[in-house]
Amino acid sequence: MTAAHDDAAHDDAGSLFARLTGREPDGFWSAPGRVNLIGEHTDYNDGFVLPFAIPQRTVAAVGLRDDDRVRVASTFAEEPVEVDLDDLDRLFPTPAGAHPAVPEWAAYPLGVAWAMRQAATESGPFGGFDLTIASDVPVGAGLSSSAAIEGATASALNDLWNTGFDGTHLARIGRRAENEAVGAPTGIMDQMASMLGQPDTAIFLDCRSLDAELVPLAVAETGLAMLVIDTRVKHAHSTGGYRERRASCELGASLLGVPALRDVTVDDLPRAQGLMDDVTFRRVRHIVTENQRVLDTVRVLRERGVRAIGDFLVASHASMRDDFEISTPELDTAVDTALAAGALGARMTGGGFGGAAIALVEASDVASVSEAVRDSFAAHGFVEPLLFAVLPSAGPRRDA
């Protein structure tokens, strides 16, 4: 373990495993949440993203069984869920628009087991297992608590089932679990960020080819900090707003005659405006300009460093607020207040409709910017936000 919060989640997962099974697990595996520096909703449009893994992690305590039963439990659910391995093919995939046949939290680890068996038909044998989950990744905050669950589960089963998949393949398995078991129409950014994270770097990911390149951020050594502002307004990707935005993007690509909005450039936008209604056009404009902002951010990081990217973060938030319409009053207040208090840049991060914002601030200003945000939230009558600084961190690992 590398931090106190890791120890707490490890202890909680282990205690729950002991209560559930009366024995010690075969091991502990963990995977991180993520912050997306820039590139929102571009992933399922075959575009570009620039996330990084964060120190907050989900821990899975896992032990193989001598039968074909699978039992999963979590510190944030009252009852465990138990099924036969062969039942997984009956439970999943979840029909489009329907709720999973098991509680949603359980659909993540069970969906990973289902997708892994499907992907490894030549491997095995696949024995039953008990799995308990504890996490300090805030749920519903846009920090990809779901991908952390998927990454911890996939890493554990990859070891215990000897499937031999690499990080990119495990990310694909996690995405399939989220898309087809949970029923959330997300792209692959979250899973790739969690699986491929490295300290002090962001992951420049081409979501079409899945080519990934590590881009140094050097946040701490530059005297900066990345402040996460969790508005505590919960969101869920499996609900309608996210699905509607994806449908608008698919409609826009169809009207433009391209496979995905990745294939549309800023120069194409005037033509696009003449082909579609205003709402669809604004959705398209966000994706096209956001892809360009990711490319520009990577270029500027390489040429001038992290201090020079603030304007891209601000422009990204404005596009999500005005064109994609996924921000909230709380997120706008977080961004506007952080900028007024001296942040170099700020934007909402994650799928929107709640969740968190990030602010790039001087390390010496973390306390004053945090205080300004808290005061502003109080003045607006909002729930007090949760604020904490993060640095780019490592991906999945076996902890014990």
Q: Respond yes or no: is residue 12 known to be catalytic.
A: no
Cα separation of 323 and 327, whole Å? 10
% helix / strand / coil in the chain, to the nearest 5?
45, 20, 35
Within 177-309, residue ranges assigned H as helices are 189-196, 240-256, 269-273, 278-303
Neighbours of 221 (CB within 10 A): 10
Listed as own residue / partner, the contacts of 346-349 with beta carbons closer than 8 Å and 24 or more positions apart are 346/313, 346/314, 346/317, 347/38, 347/313, 347/314, 347/316, 347/317, 347/320, 348/40, 348/142, 348/317, 348/320, 348/321, 349/35, 349/36, 349/37, 349/40, 349/142, 349/143, 349/228
Beta carbons of 358 and 339 less than 8 angstroms apart:
no
Cα separation of 400 and 152, whole Å? 13
Annotated catalytic residue within 6, 130, 136, 190:
190
Non-local CB neighbours of 234 within 8 Å, separated by 6+ positions:
139, 140, 141, 354, 355
245 burial level (CB within 10 Å; 0-12, 13-18, 19+): buried
- Which helix (DSSP H) or strand (DSSP E) does residue 345 occupy? strand 345-349
Tokens of 107: 């659909």
The three-state secondary structure class of 1 is: coil
Q: Which of 311, 270, 264, 252 minimizes the C-alpha distance to 288?
A: 264
Q: In what order do the strands lie in the sheet with 345-349?
A: 345-349, 356-362, 224-230, 386-390
Cα separation of 124 and 113, whole Å? 12
The catalytic residue positions are 190
